[in-house]
Structure 1
Amino acid sequence: MELFHQMISGLLGIPERQISSTLHLLDEGATIPFISRYRKEATGGLNEVQIENIKEQHDKLCDIARRKETILSTINEQGKLTPELEKRINATWNPTELEDIYLPYKPKRKTRAEAARQKGLEPLAMIMMLQREPNLTAKAATFVKGDVKDTEDALKGARDIIAEQVNEDERARNAIRNQFTRQAEITAKVVKGKEEEAAKYRDYFDFSESLKRCTSHRLLAIRRAESEGLLKVSISPDDEACLERLDRQFVHGNNECSHQVKEATADAYKRLLKPSIETEFAAQSKEKADDEAIRVFTENLRQLLLSPPLGQKRVLAIDPGFRTGCKVVCLDAQGNLLHNENIYPHPPVNKTGEAASKLRKMIEAYEIEAISIGNGTASRETEDFINHQTFDRQIPVFVVSEQGASIYSASKIARDEFPDYDVTVRGAVSIGRRLMDPLAELVKIDPKSIGVGQYQHDVDQTKLKKALDQTVENCVNLVGVNLNTASSHLLTYISGLGSQLAQNIVNFRAENGAFSSRKELMKVPRMGAKAFEQCAGFLRIPGAKNPLDNTAVHPESYHIVEQMAKDLKCSVDELIANKELRQKIKISDYITPTVGLPTLQDIMQELDKPGRDPRKAIKVFEFDKNVRTIADLREGMILPGIVGNITNFGAFVDIGIKENGLVHLSQLAERYISDPTEIVSIHQHVMVRVMNVDTDRKRIQLSMIGVQQD
């Protein structure tokens, strides 16, 4: 175990003590958000990403350890496990090196070399490898018997044995690997006759690029086209250089034997070694591209989940449409459905006056404080219609993303929430709730349906799900949730809960009324001390008798705040309300062997802003009223937009029409940047300049260089 800690420390550049403490906490069942927030003294203040990296590296080392056990057992059963071999296997923690050591002992289906051995040709192969036999043809003739038909058959069999030996030679495999690393090119060519079907991949019809320079989005696009049967793809180094390298190792002299070995080596490279290493590099490059795509996706998801919330306001939400009309719902400040109906302000129905009258009545009757419009079909027209109405007071209008709303509306979660309403009502409710609290609403939708991924269906799905789930969990716990209003689905992501305990909390709430303190959580069925420890700090109770129950201060630290109040001869309520009192606190006086400066600083921050929301404040946004379709765009136009998706090659910006425009990485800033998130984030309001419009391909190139940003 200490060896693992040393290795992880060296790999991540984190002191061994912090690695050890973190893994100990994980072994005890602590969650990543809990460790990051409430165990800073133990971890040295590691963040969620660092803790996740430690866990991931530890899991990888455990996998290698299990693989070693299997390999040692298999070789031992063959009776071929020598002390030297065992030592070599135990010494390596490189999975590639481990598999190379194992390769000669790996059970394999009947190979050409194995068939030759069964014909008794291994001694001839050994003679050839020594390259000293002056009359190889005569020597080979002595092996012509049984299944060996003639001299050439004997030589061919011996070459097959040599080819397998070359393929299984560690030094040779590493040499070819080095050639691949330095020189490998990935090439793609369109499959003959598929040109029309593969039109969207035409950039790759005759493509060649250094593998190490091929970006993740290009590689994933190529691999997708390959899986669809549209491109032929290969990864190859300089074949001549590889053969020369193998010849230097295996071919000695210039006689009949060395010519045979040279032929066997060439066969080994073409038939065994090159395809094997190509497969290895294809898998490695795909894994690297997957990791990059997953990184982009999780960062986009994090930004989306942490979008500014409107908060608890009464909202009128509209799912816009033309022929079928606009579905309108009215929600109270908690997001409960109060009313729903359809209006038809657009063609072909054109009941504009009636729609306006209905809107005014709903806004008055339900005391509406904000309007939320979905950004799908008829969104701009509906926004215009609303903005041309006069109400008895100023009501802000917001346009929110509909991405995934239709999937939510047909889901089991939506059916359970609204069993008596159809999908149109559920979708409109989701649009309204996304404005009020994007995090609470978006956690109900599979992240892959939210529309902020890059080749998300092409990457390792298990790894993607794990990364997305961890991102959602981190975001939910960063913000915290209201214990008395949170849905079971939102509670599921709270540290230490899971689906069963989350449902038990909701059931307990329904039977016993609202929680008045965090302590009451212990009355929830199956809520043990460990689960309470993990979840309590992330659950808030506004209006609780103990004001600390509505902060991120953990119950295990309440006694510290109570002692601070006692020392200042005031109540905890007074301490929170009075900044001058808090300024008198000397936090170093409260350091103990278990409570250090990081925890005390977090406590003081919470007392300054109890129950604070880390998300930014929401802003009203308007698109350019003169731009409705791609045909309205002109080069040089300066337009407002909202960043809808970020990839590693740039950002897609919604400028209020059906098609999003792309701000390429090179057009985000005048200085060099390697990652778009250095400049932009999801849902950021930006100003862009139209550079190029391709109406045929529906592609819009935008730039932010030289454009004044608000």
Structure 2
Amino acid sequence: MTSIISFIVGQTQLSTQSVKNTIELLNEDCTVPFIARYRKERTGNLDEVQIGEIVKFKEQYETLEKRKLTILKALGEQGVLTPNLEQRVKNAEDLMALEDLYLPYKKSRKTKADNAKALGLEPLAKIIMAQNTNDLEPIANIYVKGGVNTIDDALEGARNIISEWVNERSDIRNYIRNQLERYAMLSTKVIKTKADEEQAQKFKDYFDWSESLTRMPSHRLLAVLRAEKEGFVRVKIEIDNERAIEHIENRIIRSKNGCSDQIQIAIKDAYKRLILPSLSNEALQIAKERADASAIMVFAKNLKQLLLGAPLGEKRVMGIDPGYRTGCKIVCLDAQGQLKYNETIYPHPPKNDTAGAMKKISSLADAYKIEAIAIGNGTASRETEALIRRIRFKNEIEVFVVSEAGASIYSASKIAREEFPNYDVTVRGSVSIGRRLQDPLAELVKIDAKSIGVGQYQHDVDQTKLKKELDTVVESCVNAVGVNINTASKSLLSYVSGIGVKLAENIVAYRDEQGKFTSREDIKKVPRLGGKAFEQGAAFLRIKDARNPLDDSAVHPESYAIVVKMAKDLRKNIRELIGNTKELQSINLETYCTDTIGLPTLKDIIKELEKPGLDIREKAKVFTFNQNIKTINDLREGQLLPGIVNNITNFGCFVDIGIKESGLIHVSNLSDGFVKDVNEHVSLHQQVIVKVLDVDIPRKRIQLKLYK
């Protein structure tokens, strides 16, 4: 335990006690949202990000220790594990150093050196490395026997052994690593036979490219590697080879004779055949991992903003999936998102039944008391929005254009089939669009995050790391907002702290059989939901109109007694205390501190009691695009247009200005000053005003500048 704590403290600079207690909580199967929210006294008030760092380095340490055990076992089986080697393996501080130690004993296939050793040439290699002999031919001649036919064959075999020794020296490998880290250049060469292919044109900028590997932005490296993967370019990593070889020679050669000539040849062979290919691949992999981490971080930030997007709330909504030939699919949803009616209208070409469509929408809006309309932002979206705005509704109805990214993925999914077994994919897609307006978080958790369409190069990064990070983001968002246990889907419940997929299914099954939960105590009746799951999840599960008002708050059941005591001391009941800011602020919290509950938790309780169950998200706002801009051909340099940020990358952000093509605000056009982080200037779904800088109609590219 001491070693892992020291390792994590060294990596994070957090206090030893905070790290120790957090590791203990993690080992007790506590979740990050639970620890961050309800165990502040034990962690020293660490937030989710800091706890997440502890989790990351805990996993790194455990991976390193597991690999050490595997290597020690392998070395023991080979009979080469000396006390010194064992200690060096145990003391290795990272995987790279560990693998260098194991390299001389790690043989997956026969090497040139192995073949030479089998021919008995290792003594000759040792003689050469001793560098005491000027005339090697008579000595080499002794080894001309068996499979060695000539003196040259003997010397070549000895050099192969020396090359392997050079390659296995950790000091030399670390020097070349350092050179690659500081000076490596990545260069590309286009494969001429594919240069004119249509798919190759998007990589045209990288056909003959050269750039410092260390300073290469993540998005550019991922683009280059995709171009290589698709067969349009060849990628090469280069450093100053002469300088590198000279350095190795200076470390090994200490005489000028026949031996040094042979060693010099062996060093060049070792560098070009073994060291550089291996370590340049390693350097590229490290750069790729950095690029992956950067891209995953961008994706995670975007996803968080998207999931915490402004909900309209429990309003009756009409969802419309617009289209031309196949028509516009309409659904009417109640305030809880339940499907009440569906139909298809054909207001656009080729049928052009505009009058009939307007009449139908108006009558449905009246019949189902629709309060808002959600229109998908795909094909025919602008035309459908214009149509809706021409209708004179009896009651005021707000009109929203909603991103439909991933709606088609949901509509064909198992989750959608379970929810709507008697409806086809077009109806399910329209329902998803309508529900996204009501509550983006509750609907988007049903879709694989990679299908939502935010981020950069999500298909090129490490998919395991991407999924893990995105799952963490979803879990964080769900628990930050809280979940209504009586209306939440299985997908939403599965992300609640301590619940998971199986318990989420059990909760829904219990709800279907027994009816609504009326208290948090009822949650304990769910099959297989034990004390630990209740402890981890209860405070994130909300029960509307519960007998105990605390059941619709973020106050943990373990703290109910303290709230009861506060109310009793103030001679009020709990309902009178909730929302009573004056009384709550008058409480002397120190008098309620216990061995396990301190001021951080008590302050959280007071904050929650002031506004119980407060949704941390903003409310949805109506937005209108410029109605005169319908296609890219309508754009002119200098125009000021309203738009919505629909994707954020490291090199800028993309803005929906109401046409098929999104415009790019390059990072240099986000501000007049230096921009370190795009997210400091814009957020996903933010409503902005942009200035058109350039329109490239043939390439369908729009350059924008952030105006305000």
* TM-score, length basis structure 1: 0.98
**Alpha-carbon separation, structure 1, partners of 2:660 and 2:280:** 42
Task: Output aligned runs, 1:399-478, within 5 Å.
Answer: 399-478=401-480
Task: Output aligned runs, 1:294-443, within 5 Å.
Answer: 294-443=296-445
Aligned to 2:340, the other structure's residue is in SS state strand
Give the Å deviation of 1:138.
Answer: 1.8
Give the Å deviation of 1:579.
Answer: 2.6
Give the aligned partner of residue 232 of structure 2.
230
Give the aligned partner of residue 107 of structure 1.
107
**Alpha-carbon separation, structure 2, partners of 1:446 and 1:75:** 43
Give the Å deviation of 1:436.
Answer: 0.2
**Alpha-carbon separation, structure 2, partners of 1:422 and 1:82:** 68
Give the aligned partner of residue 675 of structure 1.
677
CA contact (8 A) 2:579 2:611 kept: no
Give the aligned partner of residue 599 of structure 1.
601
User: What is the aligned counterpart of 1:274 among 262, 276, 283?
Assistant: 276
**Alpha-carbon separation, structure 2, partners of 1:171 and 1:321:** 65
Give the Å deviation of 1:342.
Answer: 1.6
**Alpha-carbon separation, structure 2, partners of 1:580 and 1:108:** 73
Aligned to 1:606, the other structure's residue is in SS state helix
User: What is the aligned counterpart of 2:578 among 576, 579, 604?
Assistant: 576
**Alpha-carbon separation, structure 1, partners of 2:259 and 2:78:** 32
Give the Å deviation of 1:360.
Answer: 1.3
Give the aligned partner of residue 191 of structure 1.
191
User: What is the aligned counterpart of 1:547 among 546, 549, 558?
Assistant: 549
Give the aligned partner of residue 494 of structure 2.
492
**AA at the equivalent of 1:33:** P
Task: Output aligned runs, 1:634-673, within 5 Å.
Answer: 634-673=636-675
Where structure 1 has 5 or more consecutive residues not aligned to the other structure, the ranges are none
Give the Å deviation of 1:179.
Answer: 1.1
Instruction: Give per-residue Cα distances to partners, 1:599-625, cap 9 Å, x unaligned.
Output: 011101111111100011211101111
Instruction: Give per-residue Cα distances to partners, 1:116-145, cap 9 Å, x unaligned.
Output: 111111111111112110211222112211
User: What is the aligned counterpart of 1:538 among 540, 552, 559?
Assistant: 540
**Alpha-carbon separation, structure 1, partners of 2:581 and 2:274:** 74
**Alpha-carbon separation, structure 1, partners of 2:442 and 2:130:** 72
CA contact (8 A) 2:578 2:609 kept: yes
Give the Å deviation of 1:512.
Answer: 1.2
**AA at the equivalent of 1:127:** I
Task: Output aligned runs, 1:112-123, within 5 Å.
Answer: 112-123=112-123
**AA at the equivalent of 1:161:** I
Aligned to 2:269, the other structure's residue is in SS state helix
Give the aligned partner of residue 75 of structure 2.
75
Tell me, yes or no, if structure 1 residue 611 matches structure 2 residue 613. Answer: yes
Aligned to 1:635, the other structure's residue is in SS state coil
**Alpha-carbon separation, structure 1, partners of 2:249 and 2:659:** 62
User: What is the aligned counterpart of 1:482 among 442, 467, 484?
Assistant: 484
Give the Å deviation of 1:438.
Answer: 0.3
Tell me, yes or no, if structure 1 residue 221 matches structure 2 residue 220. Answer: no
CA contact (8 A) 1:641 1:685 kept: yes
**AA at the equivalent of 2:641:** L
Give the Å deviation of 1:380.
Answer: 0.5
More divergent stretch after superposition (252-261 vs 604-613): 252-261
**Alpha-carbon separation, structure 1, partners of 2:645 and 2:301:** 13
Give the Å deviation of 1:577.
Answer: 4.0
User: What is the aligned counterpart of 2:247 among 241, 245, 248?
Assistant: 245
CA contact (8 A) 1:305 1:442 kept: yes
Give the aligned partner of residue 45 of structure 1.
45
Aligned to 2:209, the other structure's residue is in SS state strand
**Alpha-carbon separation, structure 2, partners of 1:78 and 1:493:** 47
Task: Output aligned runs, 1:129-148, within 5 Å.
Answer: 129-148=129-148
CA contact (8 A) 1:491 1:502 kept: yes
Aligned to 2:189, the other structure's residue is in SS state strand
Aligned to 2:684, the other structure's residue is in SS state coil
Aligned to 2:350, the other structure's residue is in SS state coil
* TM-score, length basis structure 2: 0.99
CA contact (8 A) 1:8 1:58 kept: yes
**AA at the equivalent of 2:211:** E
**Alpha-carbon separation, structure 1, partners of 2:579 and 2:596:** 28
CA contact (8 A) 1:641 1:655 kept: yes
Give the aligned partner of residue 57 of structure 2.
57
**Alpha-carbon separation, structure 2, partners of 1:695 and 1:50:** 47
Give the Å deviation of 1:192.
Answer: 2.4
CA contact (8 A) 2:579 2:612 kept: no
Tell me, yes or no, if structure 1 residue 178 matches structure 2 residue 178. Answer: yes
Instruction: Give per-residue Cα distances to partners, 1:55-97, cap 9 Å, x unaligned.
Output: 1111111111111111112222222221111111111122111
**AA at the equivalent of 1:172:** I
Give the Å deviation of 1:549.
Answer: 0.4
**Alpha-carbon separation, structure 1, partners of 2:581 and 2:284:** 60
CA contact (8 A) 1:144 1:151 kept: yes
**AA at the equivalent of 2:102:** Y
Where structure 2 has 5 or more consecutive residues not aligned to the other structure, the ranges are none
Work out the percentage of aligned pairs sharing the same amino acid.
58
Give the Å deviation of 1:393.
Answer: 2.4
Give the aligned partner of residue 631 of structure 1.
633
**Alpha-carbon separation, structure 2, partners of 1:70 and 1:413:** 42
Give the Å deviation of 1:520.
Answer: 0.5
CA contact (8 A) 1:434 1:442 kept: yes
Tell me, yes or no, if structure 1 residue 23 matches structure 2 residue 23. Answer: yes
**AA at the equivalent of 1:241:** R
CA contact (8 A) 2:41 2:601 kept: yes
CA contact (8 A) 2:319 2:375 kept: yes
Aligned to 2:355, the other structure's residue is in SS state helix
Aligned to 1:212, the other structure's residue is in SS state coil
**Alpha-carbon separation, structure 1, partners of 2:68 and 2:336:** 55
Give the Å deviation of 1:203.
Answer: 0.7
CA contact (8 A) 2:580 2:610 kept: no
Aligned to 2:554, the other structure's residue is in SS state coil
User: What is the aligned counterpart of 2:526 among 520, 524, 527?
Assistant: 524
**Alpha-carbon separation, structure 2, partners of 1:220 and 1:280:** 16
Give the aligned partner of residue 697 of structure 1.
699
Give the aligned partner of residue 293 of structure 2.
291
Q: List structure 1 runs of 4+ shifted beyond 4 angstroms.
A: none
**Alpha-carbon separation, structure 2, partners of 1:51 and 1:102:** 33
**Alpha-carbon separation, structure 2, partners of 1:34 and 1:14:** 19
More divergent stretch after superposition (343-352 vs 283-292): 343-352
Instruction: Give per-residue Cα distances to partners, 1:164-208, cap 9 Å, x unaligned.
Output: 100001111111111111110111111121102222111110001
**Alpha-carbon separation, structure 1, partners of 2:407 and 2:361:** 23
CA contact (8 A) 1:397 1:620 kept: yes
**Alpha-carbon separation, structure 1, partners of 2:181 and 2:261:** 29
Give the Å deviation of 1:486.
Answer: 0.7
Instruction: Give per-residue Cα distances to partners, 1:642-696, cap 9 Å, x unaligned.
Output: 1111111110110100001111111111221221101111111111111111111
CA contact (8 A) 1:61 1:93 kept: no
**Alpha-carbon separation, structure 2, partners of 1:112 and 1:527:** 61
**Alpha-carbon separation, structure 2, partners of 1:577 and 1:649:** 45
Structure 1 pair 108–422 and aligned structure 2 pair: CA distance change class (3 A):
closer
**Alpha-carbon separation, structure 2, partners of 1:579 and 1:83:** 68
Instruction: Give per-residue Cα distances to partners, 1:366-418, cap 9 Å, x unaligned.
Output: 11111110000000011111111111222110000010111111111111111
